[in-house]
Structure 1
């Protein structure tokens, strides 16, 4: 058990903790810690491929999906350089910053396109414009559902856009939270890879959220075989450690835990939405294990006050102001948060 005195509702981790089956798998693998993890890695790749309905050569394991994201950025910049072209990353703003950080580190230009006002959706027109005005290779990094907004993008619009993109436009679809999506209109980019909608789609996923393995650092990419082969040249060898591989495999096979994990988040979301409705605080429709909600005040002050009450909540995500991101946690942790939030209302703080 972790002994942090704070409730950690700020990093979109899964407070259920890893499954018993994952813990047992790690313990049982410890006596093989002196061996390279080739066999467990291969078994995990096969399991991921099977679940997603693709062959093994369309899966690349990452040391967390952040490694997959880095490798895609590097691979495309390298490809552009070889062809004597320029490379840029185009991102909605705000979104998960990982791709931007890696692009900056290798000197690639980054274009940020603000989300639409009020609905905080992707601004397709201006995203496209940023690529149209650029003479070279553009990579769109699209987190769907998006972080920090917790919302999904219209499948029809996104699909049409990806399908009609020219060959120098690439799409990195980050689906870290896809397992939480309840909206029936949502379609994963994995389906588009299988339909060969475009050869320029790479989808990344993680075991950090629903599977509760953030500390084990396991993620993966799915794309066509040629793209996976190109990306693999930028991945470190044996990048998935033995513990991470066996834990991920055990969790994928643990249907009861995955159902509990999803149910816990869904129930917490309903409770938080009911509380926010009661307090008249706006929130964006969440399809993830976190929710972005209004606080009607200075966000930094709110964060400090929550901290004083033993609760860590998410930072502000400019250009969105006046909203705080809250990780949806266990029943008990949400009970504590709701009590504190309501006490803030009584004091006129939210």
Structure 2
């Protein structure tokens, strides 16, 4: 055997087929609408697109290994020091760096609630870590059970807010309870805010940025969602200089490509694009809520750009039937929600087409 048994047990991530291949296989002549991966339906900022064009002829050079200009601009925008920032090839790479840096002993335990962002489990399994899953209470984090599970071997705690796939949030007071209950010298608390720009638009979402000042906290955010740069893979972390320094010691050089850096820098200055994206999401969310209500479909109030809903039919069946009609959403059967699906909030037209087809599938 060339690898350890825990590698043998891993299942490779199976991404969706290219849209053109799906159209060919399913015999679909028209448009395919993808509402499965929580991407920004408006696309990237026009400024970001221009920045991509402007740097295209410079890709023969290695990127700036420190993301110097992007770090300067983001530090200014957030009101933090550049020493508080680290960038990664998507938030996924930052998660890997966290495992490689802070969870190095055999007895180290990784604590998170489930269902939540699946990469915590996938990456943790790839490092052969002890994973401690706390079931959600309803569709929200069970903070009391999470705190009860903290022990001397707890090395990393993941808090996903808004939580993917439920769209629910963790109250700031509960996050502070977790930080207080954790060992400041041994346990890293990771606050994953991938959907921050959508969440902060809600009146009752509390700002969490200042929590990075705790010595054992890192906040993760991304350019993949509201900024519309998912295809370029760039995310960032905000933490104390010491945590950032440790992560930089294991970070590969040139990990964020030159195109991503320039696009993110331009996107940061396009506040109007973020406003349009958030407003489109708000309008789309209200429309989908109202249609679900009319159809008698229950759903979970979301703080993100997706909605978890209960079709009260086999989720895999609903997914396949919508797929035949050129609508791609996400079945939650694999998460244990056998009749539930997650749909990304799209444009007005995309949402209307989705609802029309969903009514046909469910005979509503």
Shared fold (TM-score greater than 0.5)?
yes
Per the alignment, residue 258 of structure 1 pairs with 274
Cα distance, 1:187 vs. partner?
2.8
Cα distance, 1:169 vs. partner?
2.8
1:109 maps to which of 130, 134, 154 = 130
Would you say 1:235 and 2:256 are equivalent positions? no
Per the alignment, residue 205 of structure 1 pairs with 221
2:164 maps to which of 147, 153, 162 = 147
Q: CA offsets per residue over residues 184-203 of structure 1, 9 Å max, x none?
A: 3323432211xx3x311111
Contact 2:90 2:235 in 1 (8 A): yes
What is the alpha-carbon distance in structure 2 between the residues aligned to residue 141 and residue 62 of structure 1? 18
Per the alignment, residue 297 of structure 2 pairs with 281
What secondary structure sits across from 1:291 in the alignment? strand
What is the alpha-carbon distance in structure 2 between the residues aligned to residue 52 and residue 337 of structure 1? 37
1:171 maps to which of 186, 189, 200 = 189
Task: Note the residue ranges of structure 1 that are not aligned, 5 or more in a row.
Answer: none
What is the alpha-carbon distance in structure 1 between the residues aligned to residue 86 and residue 202 of structure 2? 28
| CA 1:160–1:91: 2 relative to 1, 3 Å | closer
| CA 1:160–1:126: 2 relative to 1, 3 Å | closer
What is the alpha-carbon distance in structure 1 between the residues aligned to residue 58 and residue 82 of structure 2? 24
Per the alignment, residue 100 of structure 1 pairs with 121
Worse-superposed segment, 99-108 or 243-252: 99-108
Contact 1:94 1:318 in 2 (8 A): yes
What is the alpha-carbon distance in structure 1 between the residues aligned to residue 67 and residue 202 of structure 2? 32
What is the alpha-carbon distance in structure 1 between the residues aligned to residue 66 and residue 259 of structure 2? 9
What is the alpha-carbon distance in structure 2 between the residues aligned to residue 111 and residue 57 of structure 1? 32
Per the alignment, residue 16 of structure 2 pairs with none
| CA 1:299–1:98: 2 relative to 1, 3 Å | same
What secondary structure sits across from 1:185 in the alignment? coil
Cα distance, 1:70 vs. partner?
0.9
Cα distance, 1:13 vs. partner?
1.1
What secondary structure sits across from 1:112 in the alignment? strand
Contact 1:292 1:326 in 2 (8 A): yes
What is the alpha-carbon distance in structure 2 between the residues aligned to residue 169 and residue 232 of structure 1? 18
Trace 1:1-350 onto structure 2 (pairs within 5 A). 5-38=31-64, 41-78=67-104, 81=105, 86-117=107-138, 120-132=139-151, 135-167=152-184, 168-181=186-199, 182-193=201-212, 196=213, 198-316=214-332, 317-345=334-362, 347=363
Cα distance, 1:66 vs. partner?
0.7
What is the alpha-carbon distance in structure 2 between the residues aligned to residue 31 and residue 246 of structure 1? 13
Cα distance, 1:40 vs. partner?
8.6
Per the alignment, residue 4 of structure 2 pairs with none
Contact 1:73 1:99 in 2 (8 A): no
| CA 1:40–1:230: 2 relative to 1, 3 Å | closer
What is the alpha-carbon distance in structure 2 between the residues aligned to residue 321 and residue 189 of structure 1? 33
What secondary structure sits across from 1:243 in the alignment? helix
Contact 1:178 1:188 in 2 (8 A): no
Q: CA offsets per residue over residues 224-265 of structure 1, 9 Å max, x none?
A: 000000111222111111110111111111112111111111
What is the alpha-carbon distance in structure 2 between the residues aligned to residue 65 and residue 225 of structure 1? 19
C-alpha RMSD of matched pairs (Å): 1.8
- Give the TM-score normalised by the residue count of structure 2: 0.87
Worse-superposed segment, 231-240 or 159-168: 159-168
- Give the TM-score normalised by the residue count of structure 1: 0.91
| Number of residues of Structure 1 aligned to a counterpart in Structure 2 | 334
What secondary structure sits across from 1:150 in the alignment? coil
